[in-house]
Amino acid sequence: MPALIYGSAFQKSANKLENRELEHLAKLLKLLEENFYHPLLHTKYLTGSLEGFLAFRIGRDYRCIFRIIDNEIILLLEVRHRKDIYRK
């Protein structure tokens, strides 16, 4: 099972979530650790300037961007609203 590493931007952005989304994120992180393609995550590979990164859904409105490193580490990068997260 890969290890989850929390980036500083992820921690800051996750702390801004409301309690409901934060609880949902905690459940999804357990699924992510077991299988990053779990159907409840709706994982997708990103393109363009975010090529090489992946994202999963946190409810309808929030997304989490992450990167897989050597199938041993999942680096969690950021959580933001879906309208903002893909803008870099």
**pLDDT tens, residue by residue, 27-83:** 999 999 999 999 999 999 999 999 999 999 999 999 999 999 988 999 999 999 999
In this structure, which CATH number among 3.30.450.90, 3.90.105.10, 3.30.420.480, 3.30.2310.20 belongs to the domain 3-70? 3.30.2310.20
Which pLDDT band, with edges at 50, 70 and 90, does 88 fall under?
low
Q: Is the pLDDT of residue 5 over 90?
A: yes
| Contacts with 27 (C-beta within 8 Å, 6 or more apart), sequence order | none
Q: Is the pLDDT of residue 18 over 80?
A: yes
